[in-house]
């Protein structure tokens, strides 16, 4: 009985820590911009998310994580939809110009 009473503060502390909302730590993107303190800044994370979203609108089945984690996927998408003005910034470093042609 005494041991269980000693564990009570530990259990209460654990519950208090696990109640912290993970949503506060999430990155919020608006198109290719990340919202930070109410301002929009261009970040590679949100650009990759947006590139995947635009690619899906063209019928490609691709996730944002695959674009972020695999440079070949990003390069192929930029080759496929690099002509779209919405992904110009996201495709800037991949070697394709605004028309989707290699430089």
Give the separation between CA 97 and CA 92, rounded to whole angstroms.
Answer: 7
Q: Copy the structure tokens of residue 14.
A: 């654990």
- Is residue 74 within 8 Å of 89, Cβ to Cβ? no
Per-residue pLDDT of the chain (103 residues; tens, 9 = 90+): 555 555 556 555 554 544 545 556 789 999 999 999 999 999 999 999 999 999 999 999 999 999 999 999 999 999 999 889 999 999 988 876 555 455 4
* pLDDT for the residue numbered 6: 58
Q: What is the pLDDT of residue 3?
A: 57
60 within some domain? yes
Residue with tokens 């910034």: 89
**92 belongs to a structural domain:** no
> Could you tell me if residue 43 is inside a domain?
yes
- Spatial CA neighbour of 75 closest among 53, 45, 55, 46: 55
Look at residue 99 and tell me if it is in a domain.
no
Instruction: Cite the DSSP H helix spans in the chain.
Output: 2-18, 44-57, 64-69, 71-81
Which residues neighbour 49 within 8 Å (Cβ) at sequence distance 6 or greater? 29, 32, 64, 67, 68
Domain holding 83, by residue range, is 2-87
Give how many domains the chain has, as a whole number: 1
């Amino acid at each position: 009985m005494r041991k269980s009473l000693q564990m009570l503060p530990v259990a209460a502390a654990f519950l208090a820590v696990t109640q912290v909302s993970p949503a506060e730590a999430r990155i919020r993107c608006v198109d290719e911009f990340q919202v930070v303190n109410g301002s929009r800044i261009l970040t590679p994370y949100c650009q990759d998310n947006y590139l995947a979203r635009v690619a899906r609108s063209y019928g490609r089945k691709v996730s944002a994580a695959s674009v972020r984690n695999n440079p070949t996927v990003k390069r192929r998408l930029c080759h496929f939809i690099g002509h779209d003005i919405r992904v110009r910034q996201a495709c800037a470093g991949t070697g394709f110009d605004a028309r989707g042609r290699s430089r």
